[in-house]
Amino acid sequence: MKLIGKKILITGVTSGIGLRLIEQLYQNNTLYIVARSQDKINTLLKSFPNIQAFNTDLSDIDSLQAMVKNIKQQTESLDILINNAAVQYTPMFTEADFCYQSISREVNTNFTSICCLCYLLLPLLNTGSPAVILNVNSGLALAPKTSSAVYCATKAALDNFSQALSNQLINTHIEVLQAFLPVVDTAMTYGRSENKITSLQAAKKIINGIESSKQNNDIGKVKLLRLLMRYLPFLGRRIMRGY
């Protein structure tokens, strides 16, 4: 599927990978975006005025039906849904600065909202023309690191959900794809010293994966991690414990 002349909805777009996706896709497509900061949306629209923007906090699950109703008032179909939004909290459960309220926010943003959006937007995607749901995932879905336990769990859940949803949609024109990212240089990973790919590199790889219909688009070091978890899982788990 060439990403030209498509109607594309993207979540989590005001910085990082989402912003780079907009930069790459804006000129040749109709974009709809979801973001939680109205101020950042306003700034974004100064550079990309033709985007249709929807101000919603994806951790607030009760707000999603009203948002999708507004989307349906703007378009009768979508070609691509890119579930990119995510949050990550690094304190461990044993640390004094762990925030109890962060658990539901992380689960809702990274997983529950994606399930909800896939269901609520299905009528717009299932119109008989080829369509794609692309879930932006992480290598941490394959093996968790020590910190960010909830984040790792949401990514593993997203992997299972994506596989099951793909099975459910096998007799439709909708493909369910995933992009498994390594550490990307974004605000989420600020201060971490590992070798990172840039958000632009990640965005380009995600787009290439959609255009080539890669069901599991392993990007960068995720290729090696998947091999380790297949053939030497004890080594893969040991390496990831160190992060």
- Prediction pTM value: 0.96
- CB of 210 closer than 8 Å to CB of 128: no
Residue 2 lies in a domain: no
Instruction: Give the bridge partners for 116, in sequence order.
Output: none
pLDDT at 57: 97
**175-224: per-residue pLDDT in tens?**
999 999 999 987 666 556 567 899 999 999 999 999 999 999 999 999 99
pLDDT at 195: 77
Closest to 73 in 3D by CA, of 32, 128, 114, 44: 32
**84-128: per-residue pLDDT in tens?**
999 999 999 999 999 999 999 999 999 999 999 999 999 999 999
**143-189: per-residue pLDDT in tens?**
999 999 999 999 999 999 999 999 999 999 999 999 999 999 876 66
Q: How many domains does the chain have?
A: 1
Residue 82 lies in a domain: yes
pLDDT at 53: 98
Residue 107 lies in a domain: yes
Q: Please give the Cα distance from 60 to 67 (Å, whole number).
A: 11
Asked whether residue 7 carries a pLDDT value surpassing 90, the answer given is: yes
**26-70: per-residue pLDDT in tens?**
999 999 999 999 999 999 999 999 999 999 999 999 999 999 999
DSSP string, 41-85: HHHHHHH-TT-EEEE--TT-GGGHHHHHHHHHHH-S--SEEEE--
pLDDT higher for 188 or 17?
17
Residue 105 lies in a domain: yes
Residue 84 lies in a domain: yes
Chain mean pLDDT for the chain: 95
**pLDDT grade for 243, boundaries at 50, 70 and 90:** confident
Token pair 């290729």: residue: 223
Kindly give, in sequence order, each residue whose CB lies less than 8 Å from that of residue 48, ignoring residues fewer than 6 positions away: 22, 26, 31
Residue 125 lies in a domain: yes
Asked whether residue 242 carries a pLDDT value surpassing 90, the answer given is: no
pLDDT at 125: 98
Residue 29 lies in a domain: yes
Residue 1 lies in a domain: no
Q: Please give the Cα distance from 141 to 154 (Å, whole number).
A: 8
Q: Please give the Cα distance from 221 to 20 (Å, whole number).
A: 20
Domain range for 18: 7-241
What CATH number is given to the structural domain containing 198?
A: 3.40.50.720
